[in-house]
Structure 1
């Protein structure tokens, strides 16, 4: 068969692509302009987001993080969550009453006032705020301070690092409903975060402060939980003093941190039955004490007892709020550990077991203390019926250990999020499970937490002053979460203003009153979490500041496409067989270190891929959406590898395999569209918007990649940049950059260690950045 005088079988194979359909699907990359004098034609203008700092594109409807799970799976997750989420919250009855009445009970009705405060604090903050409101403010199923921050950074361009790209919004987990511009509050809040640099800095600072306070919980929770649990042995061995209890606790803490390397979540799952028994036991003991001693404590449900308590005790009542807030310790864990489960599973376990048991335990303790006010210092163990004392002591110690596990695990997760978003020095992250990326272990953080826990335990010895320190950490986390939640309500949920005001004047106001109370005890141990948080925030801010200034320098001095082509076309530069992966943090353009490399090593490999590893403000990036490629010319490509803050870095061999496969897919399916019609003779425009490309050119380019792998393999090129303050910089900037940032940079793991790059195939070139 012949067509246009040419035999069909003799015609070259072509790839035909309907550009109209392609434009519809990739409208973020292509812009069309009609040329004057050519009414029927289009001039195609290519917008390369690898060079554009920000992109505008239409995002798809909100991607829901909730997955429809079978009820069997939801119940299983609910049971497992008991062993991971509620340890800290469940062991609070060990130390709350002594914290409220450190000097003893002066009036019998004060017990009713304290119980009423406990009851309504749990209902308002623990149940209504966290279980029914905050859990809904998740980031694609992940919770915690950084999850809220990343959520806000996606709705408003609040990130200080200018590495946003149009392609980011095309990731399935990224898609959000754009705030309705007709709603003034949402638009005003969004505009404030986007246009005010001070607001961006404040948002980042508050995020860092909240993160530091949660990590502080990871230090204080093991101390106070273990000390309180071990202290119960005095009921049977009165001769033991504070020093003996302290050293027993130190030994348990050291052993506790040694087992972290095996995976804390596994331990949590395996001990879910223990905590389930714990909750059932404290609930049943509470019912027993309620029935035996004084069922009249049910009157504490009347909030008038709170007013009478304050009228009777005035300033002392306000100070005692620092003990009341301890009943809420671990509430933040409901949100921080959400990524391991789902919302419904946590709500089920909270409402059916955890909160009813805790409330019954407090009512039982109050009933016992109405008849035995002298036992307030050891209210929990004194209220246990004698026949079950020893079994409850063993269960209490085990529950305290599990409570510590969950907060330490949460600290690991938060540090990993901070590292991924450029707010914490690079550390080694060990994934202890191949199935659950949330199960991680960070050796450096584990060692620091252990030393801090032992130091705090040796310094305080008892739980009284330790409770003051703990209360400040808890109160700060509550107020920061509420502040972020109000922003989410205004900007993202667009909640009715009356409901926002109701939240602020009830839950928000109560939390700030708690905060004022615990700050009063600053001298009596309350300074510990604030000092620790200040140190953590300084480290995080210095690292983030240096990281951003380094990135901004590279962005300002990036190598243009034209300069890159000129360099690679230089005949004096030798071309070697193989694929070179040039690692850089810059995602828009080519790092200036490349010119330094060529000046020192005048040789380039046959295939050159500039690889940028980028962390997005989302929890996970699907593997099929991991890489974004652009072509400079055949054999030279740019690639951004995108990770969420909960994604595990791939093993190097698997990373290479996936990257090369995606590169060949890109050449076959997408690279053609990076070349305008009729460019370089490889494409020609035909009727009806059809561009015809020779399949031989495509196969030749793929063959170049395959031959490079076969003959030369893969080598790694990496820049080693030293950052110094430019001449004329202020003293503060010079201290931060030249001393603090560079000192941190020398102490932490280098990039090749983080990405597991084999030293045998690694070549590094150095360059000094004056920022």
Structure 2
């Protein structure tokens, strides 16, 4: 089919008018957003009645079972941190005996303040319908304050049960509204929040590279204790072999082996806790006095700048803390709180206390403290357990990386890479072949290039602290805008948690040239990909919004004597939700006929984690009724599974008939028309848009669109694959957009 070029030189895509809406502070059911009328606003009703969100409350037996299962998913990274923390704090050895007490005190208070106080008791309150992570925080802000950059908000979105927020009603509303309106009216603020979300996401993906490297390398390094022929290079290549095997089995999913994760980590916890208690009693029970923060002050007085630099090693005791929040969707808030408070926190404390006690008598063994502090009879069991625990920690971060990229794809921030769901039981288990391959290459390169956990730890620390700091920043906005927290508590949070995290951040950045540049390089690459994709995605949407076809033009085309109706049902796919896309005009000019039933289908992601199945399909009918033209907006959350194992075509036709039955009294004839058309055959029409920079575009815009975006687009998994559209009944329509 011949392409048509539509010049956009006269339009500034950044100045296209967005749908007008009136802000609603309380989101009451009786107050809907007012959206600018367009050709599909003639009639707008979902096919089913409103259903409230399901409660996530569970009985104690279920909560305790989930608490047990969480060990294998949530705590692998946090639980294996004793493998390398003390070695990272003292890379040049222990200079003063009391430095051990100062560092132990730092570890105890850091573990208490960040994973426990911040994540377990504060951050876990900010879940998005039970789901956590950077996107959960961003989605909460997007739903309450209109900070999204794509103008596809609709009044009906507010009727989705999971979209609503339980908001306090108090005197601090005025302050919250002022800040919220400031965000909504500032394009810079919107872009800054989006970039911050991308940065946090990129840093977590960086964790997915560094966790396997440092965990596996630390665990394998213990074999030096068993044989003297094991050189550093051999340890590196053994680690590489384990990493290759780990990534090669990703395509099989974790469903079959996942059941063993929790018992293995529980056994690991039992061993490191038991050994820690044994060392505490045997070597120096007096290390318990490290609970006095005076030793922290003394440590800084003695070592000054070196003490500040060593914070980059101390912060490694919190690696994996973000998983407490990011993985809460697989469990419940209560189950995470129980497993952390009752088992993980005290066990890890015992492990560090035991290592400190051992170090007080063997200060020269700090470089291999984990394995040196193990009783000889337990060496081999602990070596095997360390390898297994490190593998589980790596697996959790790799799986988390896949999930994060899935969310990025759903929100239009990442190219549509192929996403494979590896489990029929658990929708969260996904595998992305291209990403898995790139992660494996990155892990091998880091392991071979850095060789030691000290250098990798410098990079790891930056990734950990950056994610923590960004989470805190989003949380402050949520406290003010959504929770409307008392200003005293907001300031207290910033002064305590914020200042501590900034102190750690300054320390890890000091080691920028010693490996710290690595996660920032990863983040820069990933953010470039995300920025290019999301920027052009928005430009394309604004272009289609500005060139959409008015409803009366559809009537004119239908009234044309050269216009024909074909038997059958056609689904015309578009991302535009506020009108008929311009590519349809191009289609009609080349093929002056439409099928007897035409449905414009838009796939739309809402800023919520999940959309209930009964609320996913939103139908509208385009007048006049005799045209049998409908609009279907299929709404998903950012972690929803998109009908991979179900027939999307069949589901949509059934939902269309339900819509007609529930909204029209005289519907028998309409349903018969739908049935006859679907029996004749269903055709899927998809736009194959070529995106180019306009003729008068500057060099920067041309590089962004013509080279960067189109390079990424060549590697896409197209919408037809995402929805399992049969190729024999699919027609692609070519058109060029000049932005």
Q: Is the 8 A contact 1:268 1:406 kept in 2?
A: no
Looking at structure 1, the residues matched to 465 and 29 of structure 2 have their Cα atoms a distance apart, in angstroms, of 48
Matched with 1:734 is 702
Q: Find 2:305's aligned residue among 315, 337, 349.
A: 315
- The reply on whether 1:255 has 2:245 as its aligned counterpart is yes
Matched with 2:14 is none
Looking at structure 2, the residues matched to 720 and 208 of structure 1 have their Cα atoms a distance apart, in angstroms, of 28
- Alignment partner of 2:734: what SS? strand
Q: Find 1:626's aligned residue among 599, 616, 628.
A: 616
Q: Is the 8 A contact 2:420 2:431 kept in 1?
A: yes
- Cα distance 1:64–1:372, how it changes in 2: closer, same or farther (>3 A)? farther
- Alignment partner of 2:647: what SS? helix
- Cα distance 1:178–1:368, how it changes in 2: closer, same or farther (>3 A)? closer
Superposition map of 1:140-539 within 5 A? 140-177=129-166, 183-264=173-254, 266-539=256-529
The answer for unaligned runs of 5 or more in structure 2 is: 1-27
Matched with 1:106 is 95
- Cα distance 1:69–1:456, how it changes in 2: closer, same or farther (>3 A)? same
Looking at structure 1, the residues matched to 409 and 160 of structure 2 have their Cα atoms a distance apart, in angstroms, of 21
Looking at structure 2, the residues matched to 657 and 623 of structure 1 have their Cα atoms a distance apart, in angstroms, of 15
- Larger RCO (CA within 8 A; separation ≥ 6): 2
- Alignment partner of 1:564: what SS? helix
Looking at structure 2, the residues matched to 338 and 393 of structure 1 have their Cα atoms a distance apart, in angstroms, of 30
Q: Is the 8 A contact 1:339 1:438 kept in 2?
A: no
Matched with 1:138 is 127
Residue 51 (structure 1) shift: 5.5
- The reply on whether 1:709 has 2:678 as its aligned counterpart is yes
Looking at structure 1, the residues matched to 166 and 84 of structure 2 have their Cα atoms a distance apart, in angstroms, of 45
- Cα distance 1:666–1:489, how it changes in 2: closer, same or farther (>3 A)? same
4+ runs deviating over 6 angstroms: 24-27
Q: Is the 8 A contact 1:294 1:367 kept in 2?
A: yes
Q: Is the 8 A contact 2:41 2:620 kept in 1?
A: no
- The reply on whether 1:596 has 2:565 as its aligned counterpart is no
Q: Deviations over 1:728-766 (max 9, x none)?
A: 222211210111111111122222222221110011111
Matched with 1:655 is 648
Superposition map of 1:632-711 within 5 A? 632=622, 633-634=624-625, 635-651=628-644, 654-670=647-663, 672=664, 695=666, 698-710=667-679
- Cα distance 1:28–1:516, how it changes in 2: closer, same or farther (>3 A)? closer
Residue 25 (structure 1) shift: 8.9
Residue 298 (structure 1) shift: 0.3
Looking at structure 1, the residues matched to 509 and 732 of structure 2 have their Cα atoms a distance apart, in angstroms, of 50
Q: Find 1:83's aligned residue among 51, 64, 72.
A: 72
Q: Is the 8 A contact 2:252 2:422 kept in 1?
A: yes
Q: Deviations over 1:466-506 (max 9, x none)?
A: 00000010010010000001111111111111111111111
Looking at structure 1, the residues matched to 384 and 34 of structure 2 have their Cα atoms a distance apart, in angstroms, of 67
Residue 66 (structure 1) shift: 5.4
Q: Is the 8 A contact 2:217 2:236 kept in 1?
A: yes
Residue 48 (structure 1) shift: 5.8
Q: Is the 8 A contact 1:220 1:470 kept in 2?
A: yes
Q: Deviations over 1:672-694 (max 9, x none)?
A: 4xxxxxxxxxxxxxxxxxxxx6x
Q: Is the 8 A contact 2:39 2:580 kept in 1?
A: no
- Cα distance 1:191–1:29, how it changes in 2: closer, same or farther (>3 A)? closer
Residue 116 (structure 1) shift: 0.3
Q: Find 2:84's aligned residue among 95, 98, 107.
A: 95
Residue 341 (structure 1) shift: 0.7
Looking at structure 2, the residues matched to 650 and 578 of structure 1 have their Cα atoms a distance apart, in angstroms, of 23
Larger radius of gyration: 1
- Cα distance 1:245–1:605, how it changes in 2: closer, same or farther (>3 A)? same
Looking at structure 2, the residues matched to 100 and 573 of structure 1 have their Cα atoms a distance apart, in angstroms, of 77
- Cα distance 1:29–1:187, how it changes in 2: closer, same or farther (>3 A)? closer
Q: Is the 8 A contact 1:268 1:402 kept in 2?
A: no
Residue 655 (structure 1) shift: 1.5
Aligned-residue CA RMSD (Å):
2.1
Looking at structure 1, the residues matched to 126 and 347 of structure 2 have their Cα atoms a distance apart, in angstroms, of 26
Q: Deviations over 1:30-87 (max 9, x none)?
A: 99xxxxxxxxxxxxxx9569469x99xxxx99x7775121111111111111001100
Residue 268 (structure 1) shift: 3.5
Residue 647 (structure 1) shift: 0.8
Query: Which is further off, 264-273 or 101-110?
Result: 264-273
- Alignment partner of 2:239: what SS? helix
Matched with 1:608 is 598
Q: Is the 8 A contact 1:66 1:141 kept in 2?
A: no
- Alignment partner of 1:605: what SS? strand
Residue 239 (structure 1) shift: 2.1
Residue 352 (structure 1) shift: 1.1
- Cα distance 1:474–1:25, how it changes in 2: closer, same or farther (>3 A)? closer
Matched with 1:116 is 105
Q: Is the 8 A contact 2:648 2:723 kept in 1?
A: no
Q: Is the 8 A contact 1:427 1:754 kept in 2?
A: no
Residue 202 (structure 1) shift: 0.2
Q: Is the 8 A contact 1:229 1:397 kept in 2?
A: yes
- Cα distance 1:119–1:77, how it changes in 2: closer, same or farther (>3 A)? same
Query: Which is further off, 651-660 or 395-404?
Result: 651-660
- Cα distance 1:607–1:456, how it changes in 2: closer, same or farther (>3 A)? same
Looking at structure 1, the residues matched to 609 and 254 of structure 2 have their Cα atoms a distance apart, in angstroms, of 20
Matched with 1:557 is 547
Q: Deviations over 1:347-402 (max 9, x none)?
A: 11111111111000000000000000000000110000111111011001100000
Q: Find 1:755's aligned residue among 702, 723, 731.
A: 723
